[in-house]
Amino acid sequence: MLNKSCSLSRLGVAALALMASLLAWAIATPVQAQTEILIGGTIAQSGSLQGIVKPFGALGQAWVDDVNSRGGIYLSKLGRKLPVRMILYDDQSEPPTALKQYERLATVDKVHLFIGPFSSFVTNAAMQASIKHKIPFFMVEANDAVLFEENNNWRATGLAPAAWEYKRVAELYKRMGGASTFAVLSRDNLHERGAAQGFADEVKRQGFTVVYKEEAPKDIKDFSSIILAMKGKNPDVVLIEALPPPWNIGFLKQARELGLNPQDIVVGHTPIPVIKGMGESAENIVSSLYMFDGDTPDHLRFAKLCAAAGFEPWQYSESGIRYRAYRRIEDALERAGSLDADEIRIAMWTTGMTLFGEETMKHDHEGYGTDHPYPTQVKGGKHVSLWPLEKGAATHQYKMGKW
Amino acid sequence: MDLAILVQLLINGILLGGVYAMAAVGLSLIFGVSGVLNLAHGEFLMLSGFFVYVVYDRLGLNPFLAVALVAPCFFVVGYLFEMGLIRPLALRKEHVRLASATLVTLGVALIVEDATSFASLGGSFEKSVDIFVPTLVLGTVFLPSLKLVIFAVVLALIAALFLFLKYTYIGLAVQAVTQNRRGAVLNGVNTFRINAIAFGIGTFMAAAAGGFEVIHSAVAPDIGLPLTLKYLSIIVMGGLGSFAGVALGGVIIGLGEALVGFYNPAWGQTVAYLLLVAILLVRPKGLLGK
């Protein structure tokens, strides 16, 4: 009995000593000073998506330098400005790699905020790290409906649903007249399927007819049968929606070879490799950018950041979305006023701001924003804006089968 | 189906088969001689396409001339590839040698894919030569000239390979190694050298196909392995070691893709593998395999 009470006392003393040491350690350890805002993400520097987004690492750094040249972002609850640091890894255009890198950003780099990768299918994987570690995630170039199916408050975006991607292109054809039948081909992948379906639905809503609609495999090389089937339907306008440039180039070269000559061809994503690969045949291809001509402060700042990153805004159609994401992140951090994850998350969800002097972005209840692209046309090897609609209708020229 | 459409689909399918056969013949030769499934075959095709683009873009050469310059260089690449990475495995037990060699080629394929992703030379690696060879139009039928050229080149290369194997000492040695490696050694054939030559010729064929790929479509770092898988299907379907079988396999898969793809593009791609399984069930050695 005596022995037992002795050992209990010793246990009690040991527990007290442990608690005291823990308390002393806690007091002695200073609260980690918040000296910078750490934003982490991935961008494809290799793999099938690199041709569309490779310089966005440099664009991100240009934004960081621009923000830091003004002293950083003001966080009211800290009472001072903090500089921004962005850590970007290569996701190799692969969802599993992206998830691994976002895990690293959460556990090793301990970032305050995630900035999303390019594409819905890569984002779909990366977002899991945000949910797991409860880190706010700003989705940049990702808007497939799959991403919005779960009630996930940790993600926010400025983008409208993928189905809106060609809303303005369809409106342009309505405004111009002269075309009535459409063929729609998409790559069988997240986002591309949704965007193409949205275009088909929108042109029908505008009173046009969709005479051909198909999805083709991601790694298809020969489009001759598809082109032949399209020719049989004799569409006025052919739209193809695919992200990787080789997919688009393969289709266009074979369409030219097999005499597919619609009045107009819309290629959703027409970055430099497509324009260069098609040469003069790219002339008058209709496409889209998250940009239009203007001289608002956003237009000027965006052009400045692109120049610092080594490209012109039209050269990478998604660069406009990146810029919008940077602006929204600035806005959300300023309104959150701290680096508390929950406050940043709420600020991202409640954002409402004017960008490029035109629009106010607000989330709907599902989490979608309102950004969707503006129509362009390739002229002289460059994208020329077809927005607003009056200007677009006046500027646009039907391709009329001229390859 | 309209007769004109059917004729066009048949032409498309046959010409597509020619495009496939061009690289598949090289893969078949390598496998026939060395027993190694060269999973880096498609990467050499992709690399060649890239170099053809560079020669065309930087030196301003005609792209067909660029193919004629670049493709022979890949004979040396293939030769050295065998000497440096496959030959060191030669003295291992046969099954270990084949498995190790195939894994080495897979490793090389992945390394080349990753390395080219980063070696963008100031832009993306996705390249395409901007050239249009006018199409021959006969009534309602379109005959893409470039694919016709490829088809003719494939036939010419297969004929040249046939003559080389039948009438030259090295060609006869290649055949001897293919038929009985030990017997060839006992007759004084340097099998190491023959293996390297087979890799050289096979890689040259892949490089020629890569040159046409960048002219006809586009090349990107990730196109290699999927193409290699398709070529493997073709050579297994045609019969391992049979060049005529490879040509036939290519045409059958091309026709299958063209006809099925007209109605359903997704199944058009799958049909290659369905045909492979169906043919192997009926003829386990492939269409013209012995």
Domains located in chain A, CATH noted: 37-162+318-372 (3.40.50.2300), 166-267+270-291+375-395 (3.40.50.2300)
Chain A residues inside the 8 Å CB shell of B227: 221
pLDDT at A29: 46
pLDDT at A41: 98
Q: Does A190 touch chain B (CB under 8 A)?
A: no
Q: Does A226 touch chain B (CB under 8 A)?
A: yes
Contacts (Cβ under 8 Å, ≥6 apart) of A282: A252, A270, A274, A275, A378, A381
Query: Rounded to whole angstroms, how far apart are CA atoms A113 and A119?
Result: 19
Closest CA to B128 of A137, A250, A400, A398: A250
Q: Does B234 touch chain A (CB under 8 A)?
A: no
| Residue B126 pLDDT level (bands cut at 50, 70, 90) | confident
pLDDT at A12: 62
> Using the 8-state DSSP alphabet, how is residue B240 labeled?
T
Q: Is A365 exposed, middle or buried (0-12, 13-18, 19+ CB in 10 A)?
A: exposed
Closest CA to B136 of B128, B127, B146: B146
- DSSP assignments along B114-172, one per residue: HHHHH--TTS-S-B-----PPPEEETTEEE-HHHHHHHHHHHHHHHHHHHHHHHSHHHH
- A93 to chain B, closest Cα gap in Å: 11
Higher pLDDT, B82 or A403: B82
First to last CA, chain A: 100
> Using the 8-state DSSP alphabet, how is residue B85 labeled?
I
Contacts (Cβ under 8 Å, ≥6 apart) of A23: none
CB contact under 8 A, A217 and B9: no
Q: Does A146 touch chain B (CB under 8 A)?
A: no
Helix, strand or coil for residue B219? strand
Contact A359, A369 (CB under 8 A): no
> Using the 8-state DSSP alphabet, how is residue B91 labeled?
T
Whether the bond between A136 and the residue before it is cis, its omega within 30 degrees of 0, is: no
Residues of chain A with pLDDT under 50: 1-2, 26-31
Kindly state the average pLDDT of the residues B164-177: 90
Residue A196 φ/ψ, nearest 5 degrees: -70, -40
Query: Rounded to whole angstroms, how far apart are CA atoms A350 and A332?
Result: 8
Q: Strand pairing partners for A157?
A: A139
Kindly state the average pLDDT of the residues B92-120: 87
| Nearest chain B residue (CA) to A221 | B217
- Going edge to edge, which strands form the sheet with A209-216? A209-216, A181-187, A237-241, A264-267, A286-289, A374-379, A382-385
pLDDT at A1: 44
- Sign for the CA dihedral angle at B89, B94, B100, B103 comes to positive
Closest CA to B112 of B10, B245, B227, B13: B227
Kindly state the average pLDDT of the residues B87-115: 90
CB contact under 8 A, A225 and B265: yes
CB contact under 8 A, A403 and B114: no
**How is residue A211 written in tokens?**
């005479």
pLDDT at B3: 87
Instruction: Using CB atoms, pick whichever of B124, B137, B217 lies closest to residue A221.
Output: B217
CB contact under 8 A, A277 and B129: yes
CB contact under 8 A, A225 and B259: yes
pLDDT at A10: 62
pTM attached to this predicted model: 0.84
Q: Strand pairing partners for B127?
A: B219
Q: Does B259 touch chain A (CB under 8 A)?
A: yes
Q: Does A58 touch chain B (CB under 8 A)?
A: no
Closest CA to A222 of B261, B108, B121: B261
Diameter of chain B by CA atoms? 60
- Do strands A80-82 and A155-157 pair parallel, antiparallel, or not at all (unpaired)? unpaired
Instruction: Using CB atoms, pick whichever of A46, A214, A245 lies closest to residue B117.
Output: A46
Instruction: Using CB atoms, pick whichever of B132, B220, B260 lies closest to residue A281.
Output: B132
pLDDT at A367: 80
Digit-coded pLDDT (tens) for B25-62: 999 999 988 889 999 999 999 999 999 999 999 999 99
pLDDT at B2: 84
Q: Does A197 touch chain B (CB under 8 A)?
A: no
Instruction: Using CB atoms, pick whichever of B114, B137, B265 lies closest to residue A217.
Output: B265
Kindly state the average pLDDT of the residues B84-102: 89
